[in-house]
A and B are shown apart, each in its own frame.
Chain A
């Protein structure tokens, strides 16, 4: 057991840290949504030019070929430097890995480079109004025609849909099928008449997400990924990528916020309040448990190829801690914590989604109970 970095790992960390120190752009500036988005796209170009956009992507596809641990070090340093997320986050974390895992040579040739450069933005068309946690019940239809597919239906919670070139779309290609069978994974061009994107205004007042309506939208045959009828298996790959990437940097982000909260408590003179001291300590313990659990999980994955049980609770730890932290900060601020455009008020409201997005707390507990503990299935 050695929880310090080896000299090689330290050298990698320092390389990342020095590069970020010299190149990080600072926080995303205020302004309209388009200029904010273009700011993150420019940041991705900077990352890509230096070979940092696809850190864990294999070198043959334009990535850096970093090990699991190096990728974790990189995300940790990004969080530490408070660097913005690159614009094409879904393409980098899900779209690219799916194309690499299940795509044909032509698809790899066509799609990967513009993901890395940020030239083509990707979004994820999975959730539907009637299919949230029960994703496999989705109803968006794909009907086979000469040379391709016609898509009809509706997707929701589609981050970045309004700026995307491509949508990772899962639709029902076999009309008689139900559940996991009969689904196909498509890469759907968002720039066409058959697609309408409407912003979805959330409780924070902003619109990070969209609804997407497909009305006879067209996907050519060559944009099917993994073969007709294999959509569920392909989709699972992307979801696993979404979760595996979380643990490494989440604890660093929470640590930054906790430091700010401790400073806030001391500044407001409530650092001596025993109830607040106890809650801060609980947060600290939760954040450290998340950080250390991620390290244990990473070690298990490096040694055996399989992450340990501690990784399965990372999302639960992160969401509950992030929610409790933002809530305490607004409490410490007093009435100022209510200010409409206040940073902590925003974080408190935004954090309510943490226990819903990327797998609800309830679904994750089902997964822990069934797959980690081996309890009988509900259904």
Chain B
């Protein structure tokens, strides 16, 4: 038993953390979010690092790694609240690899892995990065379809989350090709990756809150010395650590013990998407008035955390799956 990362995984995480800290500084995130766009140059650098195809087989030009490695990237990009097409790109490719027909895989996977073509992923209700995508992968209940650019009727949706582009996609498309079980497996993996983005957001909101609580003084003391604030921060850590254990476990299950994935993914998505929302709300409270201003960066985290609760199901929906899977 060893619940820790190997050297390569640690290096991936550290590289991603350093890359994001350097490239997605708060003012960069703010500028991109306010302009509602991604940065082509930064995306090119991420592509050069091989991130879009991290979990895609080498025969399709990917890195041939697993969901754990993808989750580490998603977590770090969430921590930076980075506006980027990473999730839509990497997850549309992953869906195709897990549940796509051979024809679709051969036609699209190399382009998606190298990012010479663009992917989008979502459900019938909400899709990430649909505009301009060459291939859109859309899930509904236990079905999934692939929509090519020419057939895609995209209705853009302006959401509160300005770090990503969203839309709703019309009903056209062909079945993805995989069996029901493969489609469920793709969906579970996508849920775990979004949960990892939430985990990163939650950790960032906690770190910002702790730093602020140690520095901000009222009544002649740092507010973090008051239990009303410090206990809230302890509860935030509790939520973050629960989410972290469950997200890493689900990623491991996807790679090494697929029979455990349905329950593991449901638990991870339920806990992490709720935890990020709760922790971001708490972070606004800890920051007080400044946390409610547009000028402070917290609201970008809060809004993305909210969007993640709507992507591929939030806490209540995934807890219902958990109840079913434990035999109720």
User: B271–A289 contact, CB under 8 A?
Assistant: yes
Residue A4 CB within 8 A of the other chain: yes
CB distance from B279 to the nearest CB of A (A): 13
User: B1–A69 contact, CB under 8 A?
Assistant: yes
With the chains together, A1 CA to B67 CA distance in Å? 12
CB distance from A120 to the nearest CB of B (A): 35
CB distance from B260 to the nearest CB of A (A): 9
Q: Main SS of the interface on chain B?
A: helix
- A residues in contact with B252, CB < 8 Å: 1-3
CB distance from A266 to the nearest CB of B (A): 7
Residue A362 CB within 8 A of the other chain: yes
Q: Which of B235, B241, B242 has the most CB of A within 10 A?
A: B241
User: B270–A281 contact, CB under 8 A?
Assistant: yes
- A residues in contact with B246, CB < 8 Å: 285, 288-289, 292
Residue A144 CB within 8 A of the other chain: no
Closest residue of A by beta carbon distance from B238 = A313
Residue B166 CB within 8 A of the other chain: no
- B residues in contact with A324, CB < 8 Å: none
Stretch binding the partner chain, chosen from A92-100, A193-201, A218-226, A370-378: A370-378
Write out, one digit per residue, whether chain B residues 289-323 have a CB within 8 A of any chain A CB (1) or not (0): 00000000000000000000000000010011011
Q: Main SS of the interface on chain A?
A: helix
Residue A310 CB within 8 A of the other chain: yes
User: A265–B227 contact, CB under 8 A?
Assistant: no
Residue B68 CB within 8 A of the other chain: yes
With the chains together, A296 CA to B234 CA distance in Å? 19
Taking residues whose C-beta sits less than 8 angstroms from the other chain, chain A's interface range is 35 or more
With the chains together, A295 CA to B323 CA distance in Å? 24
User: Which residue of A271, A310, A370, A376 contacts B221 across the interface (Cβ within 8 Å)?
Assistant: A376
Stretch binding the partner chain, chosen from A157-165, A298-306, A339-347: A298-306
- A residues in contact with B224, CB < 8 Å: 369, 375-376
User: B322–A375 contact, CB under 8 A?
Assistant: no
Residue B101 CB within 8 A of the other chain: no
Residue A317 CB within 8 A of the other chain: yes
User: A299–B1 contact, CB under 8 A?
Assistant: yes
User: Which residue of A292, A303, A365 contacts B231 across the interface (Cβ within 8 Å)?
Assistant: A365
With the chains together, A289 CA to B237 CA distance in Å? 13
If A289-B246, A369-B224 touch, does A277 touch B234 (CB 8 Å cutoff)?
no
With the chains together, A258 CA to B326 CA distance in Å? 10
Given contact pairs A293-B245, A299-B2, A378-B227, a sample of 4 additional A-B residue pairs in the complex whose CB atoms are under 8 Å apart: A3-B249, A265-B328, A271-B328, A289-B245
Listed in ascending order, the chain A residues whose CB lies under 8 Å from chain B are 1-6, 9, 69, 258, 262, 265-266, 271-272, 274, 276-278, 280-282, 284-286, 288-289, 292-293, 295-296, 298-300, 303, 309-310, 312-313, 316-317, 362, 364-366, 368-370, 372-378
7 contacts between A and B (CB under 8 A): A2-B256, A277-B323, A281-B270, A281-B326, A284-B322, A285-B271, A368-B238
